């Protein structure tokens, strides 16, 4: 089977970029990356940080065919459990006419060659991976196939049209055969084709078929190596304690007792942290506990969640900046016989991936070498260069498999800390944050308030819609400032383009920074936070009109037949029209996000006043052409449960400037014993592929609170439900 290279490496990918086919031997294909295309709402703002780089004018996505016929794909996307590298291998193998067992994957180094035209910077995120690579990587595979066939045709003195390729071989008209490996040198001397026709979907042999993921076997048998598993010669382990209040600094430290811990080598002082290096992680942790540290907690030492929540609600009365305006909202609201208002609140959230923040770093006079899983390698490289005093090209990043990210590894703060430690010692260090350090020094999903006001017609359908979004700006923190418009495009994404027919619409953004903690991207980003408010509000409007919530949506979605199709399918598969016993209810939510359409139904049963038994989750998905049904189903299942955990339990609280949740006993995830079965139904489609890695998490929170209302008549507008006393009951029905 095909493989993913998971060993530390220093030369192979750089050799591809520097030497090409001459250095490595064989046939090297570089595909034109696509020009700028419709992209995420946040992409334009983030692109400011990549000034001077044009993502539409370079070669990238290298495919190499070796003398042994083996195919190596330099993936512009990192694998973090979403199955993207399997999909990329399938694209190349399909057009190149090789089996999956002939393909291996290597991760791309930091380079403008690999800028994602959807995100407009080199990154893995935003459910853009398949959408971005769908055409260029298929063209790379097709280009390689075409020149290999041409090389064989020249050898046999026949027309290329008389030859065909299959399973890594070229076949001629008179029974001739040639393995790819025997043709690569001749093919490398030929010019690349300028017109590269791609296979029609009906001719696909691999794409669209259930395919085992490349990374699964090694993750099951323990061979896969994440950053936390790696070792290099002379390496020591490092761990750190950072000031518990964001923005605070180190005042002094008594390190005497720590140095007495067996295995400890060095104690390193940073501006806002203390690190210990030792022969093993346990020694680091014991030494950190033995330190006597005095912090300067700074200006945020008195911050707390009550004050932050009040500030956000107060800010929701400000006008803010108009992000979208259609029709005459003032006349619509002023002339409406009936209006409906609601305020929805969403909490700070931690990423808390399975693998805590980890980076292996070795800083030398001439180079800084990093082994790390990062979603944004160019940002990591630039920051590491600044800290180490080296040039960006002297920072070598070996991107690794990521043990969970959810947006966390778009940030590089832990990488910068590792570089800061490594530059002060003469040996490589592997920085490992403890779970407590990881959770209390995260970059958190912002808390939000959505204040919504609808003008209703005589049938209690919305004709005017005023939506005020209040929260921090992730974009401003990520790149340093908001664009001149004053609008965080991520915060208003989806809200400014609701699918429902609304002749009068106004969406405003009110920026309110928490300051006490840093904020960042979180799985589902803007579409997730928007969908909770939109789909909760439309459900309330349906109940206000005494209408079936699903039928109410269908009527307002006439301009979106794909949205209607997923609603119709989820209604059928969930038994929407079938009666339920008292105390049981179904809730629905629908969304158009990341180029896909999804509808989710939650069915739950009340157990007493606050106990919830979630019987099942049903999702219907139209994500365009499905490259690998196995990955699509697993991503929607996992994303749905991820979103369900957040809606039920997850919340980060602040007291005296410090994050109170430090481990999973305080930041609970849904357990296997009370997790419901997840049914995923995918619509066959010939549309271009949409994203699925974040899509499943988007609609479930609204579907959950809508189901709660259907079962109990209780309408909860603030997440998580546990804040209102709700808890899950074990024994979900099969």
Query: DSSP letters along 192-245, please?
Result: PPS--PPPPGGG-SSTTS----TTHHHHHHT---BGGG---TT-EEEEEEE-SS
Asked whether residue 318 carries a pLDDT value surpassing 60, the answer given is: yes
Query: What pTM did the predictor assign?
Result: 0.92
Cis peptide before 720 (omega within 30 of 0): yes
The pLDDT, as a whole number, for residue 133 is 86
Same domain, 562 and 595: yes
Beta strands 103-107 and 71-75 are: parallel
Dihedral sign, Cα of residue 421, residue 422, residue 426, residue 430? positive
What burial letters (b/e) apply to 423-458, b meaning 16+ CB within 10 Å?
Answer: bebeebbbbbbbeebbbbbbbbbbbbbbbbbbbbee
Same domain, 637 and 711: yes
Which residue range(s) make up the domain with 472?
A: 309-336+445-728
The pLDDT, as a whole number, for residue 23 is 39
> Is residue 656 in a domain?
yes
Which DSSP helix (H) or strand (E) runs through 703?
helix 700-712
Considering only CA atoms, which of 679, 688, 459, 696 is closest in space to residue 562?
688
Asked whether residue 90 carries a pLDDT value surpassing 90, the answer given is: yes
Asked whether residue 594 carries a pLDDT value surpassing 60, the answer given is: yes
The pLDDT, as a whole number, for residue 60 is 59
Asked whether residue 233 carries a pLDDT value surpassing 90, the answer given is: yes
Tens digit of pLDDT for each residue in 634-665? 999 999 999 999 999 999 999 999 999 999 99
Considering only CA atoms, which of 469, 536, 234, 205 is closest in space to residue 362?
234
The pLDDT, as a whole number, for residue 186 is 96
Tens digit of pLDDT for each residue in 468-481? 999 999 999 988 88
Tens digit of pLDDT for each residue in 435-469? 999 999 999 999 999 999 999 999 999 999 999 99
Tens digit of pLDDT for each residue in 113-154? 888 777 778 888 888 888 888 988 999 999 999 999 999 999
> Is residue 46 in a domain?
no
Asked whether residue 575 carries a pLDDT value surpassing 50, the answer given is: yes
> Is residue 48 in a domain?
no
Total domain count, the chain: 3
Same domain, 481 and 369: no
Same domain, 397 and 541: no
Query: Stretch 554-560: mean pLDDT, rounded?
Result: 97
Same domain, 103 and 63: yes
Same domain, 597 and 628: yes
C-alpha distance from residue 405 to each of 73, 358, 384, 491 (Å): 23, 12, 20, 20
C-alpha distance from residue 370 to each of 362, 443, 590, 609, 711 (Å): 7, 21, 42, 53, 53
The pLDDT, as a whole number, for residue 32 is 55
The pLDDT, as a whole number, for residue 51 is 40
Distance of CA 639 to the CA centre of its chain: 10
Q: What confidence category does residue 40 fall into, taking pLDDT thresholds of 50, 70 and 90?
A: low
What are the residues facing 471 on neighbouring strands? 448, 511
End of a domain among 400, 432, 464?
432
Same domain, 287 and 316: no
Give residue for tokens 């992000």: 323
The pLDDT, as a whole number, for residue 602 is 98
> Is residue 39 in a domain?
no
**CATH number, domain at 392?**
3.30.365.10
> Is residue 439 in a domain?
no
Q: How far apart are CA 140 and CA 136, in angstroms?
A: 6
Residue 519 DSSP one-character state: B
With beta carbons less than 8 A apart as the criterion, state whether 534 and 339 touch: no
> Is residue 655 in a domain?
yes
Q: How far apart are CA 334 and CA 547, in angstroms?
A: 25
Same domain, 424 and 462: no
> Is residue 324 in a domain?
yes
The pLDDT, as a whole number, for residue 563 is 98
Q: How far apart are CA 50 and CA 55, in angstroms?
A: 10
Same domain, 317 and 390: no
Asked whether residue 1 carries a pLDDT value surpassing 50, the answer given is: no
Considering only CA atoms, which of 438, 417, 423, 443 is closest in space to residue 275?
417
What are the residues whose beta carbons fall under 8 Å from the beta carbon of 96, sequence distance 6 or more?
63, 65, 71, 141, 142, 144, 145, 165
Same domain, 536 and 458: yes
Which DSSP helix (H) or strand (E) runs through 515?
none
Asked whether residue 56 carries a pLDDT value surpassing 50, the answer given is: no
Considering only CA atoms, which of 106, 107, 78, 73 is closest in space to residue 90?
73
Q: What confidence category does residue 422 fall into, taking pLDDT thresholds of 50, 70 and 90?
A: very high
The pLDDT, as a whole number, for residue 454 is 98
Query: Stretch 690-716: mean pLDDT, rounded?
Result: 97
Query: Stretch 229-238: mean pLDDT, rounded?
Result: 97
The pLDDT, as a whole number, for residue 413 is 97
The pLDDT, as a whole number, for residue 18 is 33
> Is residue 375 in a domain?
yes
Same domain, 541 and 412: no
Same domain, 706 and 673: yes
End of a domain among 432, 453, 471?
432
On average, the pLDDT of the chain sits at 91
Token readout for 184 is 């690569």
Give residue for tokens 């190499």: 64
Q: How far apart are CA 484 and CA 355, in angstroms?
A: 38
């Amino acid at each position: 089977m095909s493989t993913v290279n998971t060993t530390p490496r220093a030369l192979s990918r750089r050799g591809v970029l520097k030497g090409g086919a001459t250095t490595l031997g064989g046939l090297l294909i570089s595909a034109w990356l696509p020009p700028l295309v419709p992209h995420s709402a946040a992409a334009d703002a983030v692109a400011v940080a990549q000034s001077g780089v044009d993502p539409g004018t370079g070669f990238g996505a290298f495919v190499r065919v070796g003398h042994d016929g083996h195919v190596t794909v330099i993936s512009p996307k990192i694998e973090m459990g979403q199955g993207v590298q399997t999909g990329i291998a399938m694209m190349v193998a399909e057009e190149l006419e090789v089996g999956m067992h002939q393909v291996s994957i290597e991760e791309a180094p930091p380079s403008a060659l690999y800028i994602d035209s959807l995100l407009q910077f080199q990154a893995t995120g935003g459910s853009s991976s398949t959408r971005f690579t769908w055409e260029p990587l298929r063209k790379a595979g097709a280009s390689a196939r075409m020149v290999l066939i041409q090389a064989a045709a020249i050898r046999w003195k026949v027309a290329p049209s008389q030859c065909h390729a299959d399973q890594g071989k070229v076949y001629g008209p008179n029974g001739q055969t040639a393995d790819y490996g025997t043709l690569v040198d001749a093919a490398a001397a030929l010019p690349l084709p300028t017109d590269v026709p791609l296979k029609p979907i009906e001719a696909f042999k691999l794409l669209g078929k259930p395919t085992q993921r490349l990374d699964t076997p090694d993750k099951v048998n323990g061979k896969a190596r994440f950053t936390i598993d790696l070792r290099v010669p002379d390496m020591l382990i490092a761990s750190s304690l950072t000031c518990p209040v964001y923005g605070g600094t180190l005042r002094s430290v008594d390190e005497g007792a720590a140095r007495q811990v067996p295995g400890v080598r060095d104690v390193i002082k940073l501006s806002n942290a203390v690190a210990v290096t030792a022969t093993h992680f346990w020694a680091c942790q014991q030494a950190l506990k033995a330190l006597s540290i005095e912090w300067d907690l700074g200006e945020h030492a008195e911050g707390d969640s009550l004050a932050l929540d009040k500030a956000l609600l107060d800010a929701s009365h400000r006008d803010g900046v108009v992000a979208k305006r259609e029709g005459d909202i003032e006349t619509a609201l002023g002339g409406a016989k009936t209006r409906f208002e609601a305020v929805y609140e969403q909490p700070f959230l931690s990423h808390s991936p399975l693998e805590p923040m980890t980076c292996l770093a070795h800083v030398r006079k001439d180079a800084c070498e990093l082994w790390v899983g990062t979603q944004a390698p160019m940002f990591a490289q630039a920051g590491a260069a600044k800290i180490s005093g080296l040039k960006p090209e002297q920072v070598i990043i070996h991107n690794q498999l990521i043990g969970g990210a959810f947006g966390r590894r778009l940030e590089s703060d832990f990488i910068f800390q590792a570089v800061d430690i490594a530059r002060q010692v003469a040996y490589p260090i592997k920085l490992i944050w403890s779970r407590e350090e990881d959770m209390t020094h995260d970059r958190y999903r912002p808390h939000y308030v959505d204040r919504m006001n609808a003008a209703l017609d005589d049938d209690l359908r919305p004709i005017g819609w005023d939506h005020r979004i209040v929260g921090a700006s992730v974009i401003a923190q990520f790149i340093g400032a908001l664009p001149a418009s004053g609008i965080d495009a991520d915060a208003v994404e989806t809200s400014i383009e609701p699918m429902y027919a609304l002749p009068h619409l106004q969406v405003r953004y009110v920026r309110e920074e928490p300051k006490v903690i840093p904020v960042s991207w979180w799985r589902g980003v803007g579409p997730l936070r928007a969908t909770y408010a939109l789909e909760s509000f439309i459900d309330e409007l349906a109940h206000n009109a005494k209408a079936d919530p699903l039928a109410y949506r269908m009527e307002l979605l006439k301009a979106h037949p794909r949205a209607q199709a997923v609603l119709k399918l989820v209604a059928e598969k969930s038994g929407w029209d079938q009666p339920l016993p008292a105390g049981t209810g179904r809730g629905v939510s629908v969304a158009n996000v990341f180029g896909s359409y999804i509808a989710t139904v939650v069915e739950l049963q009340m157990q007493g006043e606050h106990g919830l038994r979630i019987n099942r989750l049903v999702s219907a998905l139209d994500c365009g052409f499905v490259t690998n049904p196995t990955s699509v189903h697993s991503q929607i299942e996992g994303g749905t449960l991820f979103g369900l955990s957040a809606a039920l339990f997850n919340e980060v609280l602040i007291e005296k400037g410090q994050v109170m949740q430090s481990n999973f006993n305080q930041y609970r995830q849904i357990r296997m014993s009370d997790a419901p079965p997840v049914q995923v139904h995918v619509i066959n489609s010939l549309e271009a592929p949409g994203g699925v890695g974040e899509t499943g998490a988007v609609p479930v929170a609204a579907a959950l609170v809508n189901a709660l209302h259907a079962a109990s008549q209780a309408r909860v507008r603030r997440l998580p439900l546990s804040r209102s006393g709700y808890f899950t009951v074990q024994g979900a029905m099969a």
